[in-house]
Structure 1
Amino acid sequence: MNLLSPWHILVVLVVVLLVFGPEKIPEVARQLGNGMRQFRDIQAMLRGEISGLLDIGDDDTEPPAYASPPEGRPLPPPRPYRAPATNGTRSGASMPSRYRAPDGRRLSQLTPIPAPAPLPRPLPRPLPAAPVAPVARRQAPSRFRSPRPPGPSTNGSS
């Protein structure tokens, strides 16, 4: 259901007319307009301040300034890539990897691991205990018990 249907607006206008009267309605409308203008001005000011606080300069269009060598000196030539040095005890072929065993043999040359021995059979479950006779329910104290229905009186009169 629409909250601002024409009927709702009409009812609000009638209530305003009854409350303020025809003489004060222009004054009330003027004050309401001034209040709305001040509200919009404050809202625009806050938006500007918040956007100024959150502006981190990521929208700059200028290219970044990179460090350049001093004028007159050329850039040094790039260094060639060198492989990491080994300590001389192992060659690349004998180093352990995911494809070789630590002793240098290929994984396909290794003997397979024997299957584990089967687990022993579990012990049989114990038999359930014999059924126990139900225990008589204890009655709750009298303040929790419902009242007894009226029956034959025990005072001796019939």
Structure 2
Amino acid sequence: MLRNGFEPWHLLVVLAVIILLFGSKKLPDMARGLGKSMRILKAETKALREDDAPAAGTAAPADGTAQSTATEQPRPAVTPTTVTTAAEATKTTDKA
């Protein structure tokens, strides 16, 4: 039954099914949206790692207790952006 797992023709069948389900017009938009969300995720994880790293000039106390400083500021919230597709942009310019 499962002697070799995935073979190249399996991937071709899956690709054909995806194209039939979503259509060739929506696939580039979906890929573009996936790329944008991956970039956002990468930037946010990098920011979280930088927040977790101790400051360069501060040292931890010898007894191991955490020390809070009054100079720490909360990180500002990320502002949401509106994403418009090329089809939406042409619709608005055609109406004007």
Compute the TM-score of the two structures, normalised by the length of structure 2. 0.43
Point out the structure with max Rg over C-alpha: 1
Report the TM-score when normalising by structure 1.
Answer: 0.28
